Amino acid sequence: MSSQNPEKSSRVLPVFLLFLIGALWGGFYVLIKLGVTNGVHPFNYLFWFTVVCGLLLLAAAVLRGLSPRLQRVHWPYYLKLGFVRFTIGNAIFYSAQGKLPVGLMAVIMTFVPIFTYSISLGVRIEVFRWLRAAGIIIGFIGVLLIVVPRSSLPDPSMATWVIIGLGAPLMHAVSYVALSEKTRPAGVDSMILSSGTLLAAAIFSLPLALAFGAFDFLDWPPTPGEIAMLSHAALAAVNFYAIFELIRIAGPTYMSQANFLAVGFGVVFGLIILSESHSLYIWGAIGLMLIGVALVNWKRR
């Protein structure tokens, strides 16, 4: 009987990690919403998140016997990814999340693969596929279903924030295309790269917060908004580790399924925790956008 336990564990662990990652991602939308609507400016949130999460990941890496990599070959990767994805992308993300329902923002962030494929087509990294192109069109029809009908959103002015919010997955996609695996420094653990990227983002986000008069030191005891932000940073460090572990034992394709789970958890958490409600237009848009993402992710065998 005991001889079957390792095999059973090897089947259960990937599923557990997959749902854990999806649930954490879905929960992050709620924490960001609670943070930026309870007194933490999005740019100050960005700075403290990158500092705390980056330091936690660095500490975890050191405890695993890994050392920081600060040679000349590593800095361009840290700075470029930290600036494009975490500073610009997340500054847009956090700002939009303060104005939009959690469930809607969770769906908007699924546009990362749609934008990634679109950009890759433009720079001729990917080849044209009718099925995947149809996914792009269907995804954008979903966006139109949100921003065009005046009754689709609780407040028609949110339509502007939907367009702004699309800048977040766009910046993530730009970073994925510009910084592919070919540009990744060789022989560096993912946890070290992630901590370096987050701390590099902190270097950029501090002057951003200062320029907008948004910087503030954390209070003691922390405010409800700061508690949400610190919880996000701590759980994000756990999430990074879970992602690396799941990719190690099951591969990146299996891990990518967490994106769809994150949408489900984000929508459900918004409904339950924040008492959100969506119009039929939004539900229709969610369906179209998920179909679009599924088609873009479709790979010919």
Residue 300: its pLDDT value, please?
46
Give pLDDT tens digits for 91-102: 999 999 999 999
pLDDT tens digit sequence for 54-91: 999 999 999 988 887 877 778 888 898 889 988 999 99
Domain annotation covers residue 46: yes
Task: Tell me the pLDDT tens digit for each residue of 47-63.
Answer: 999 999 999 999 999 99
- Which residue, among 188, 158, 153, has the nearest Cα to 74 in the 3D structure? 188
Check pLDDT > 70 for residue 6: no
19 in any annotated domain: yes
Tell me the whole-structure pTM to 2 decimals: 0.88
The residue among 58 and 156 whose pLDDT is bigger is: 58
pLDDT at 1: 45
Residue 301 lies in a domain: no
Q: What pLDDT score was predicted for residue 208?
A: 96
Number of domains present in the structure of the chain: 1
Taking residues 266-285, what's their average pLDDT?
91
Residue 45 lies in a domain: yes
Parent domain of 147 = 2-296
Residue 267 lies in a domain: yes
The pLDDT tens digits of the residues spanning 196-237 come to: 999 999 999 999 999 999 999 999 999 999 999 999 999 999
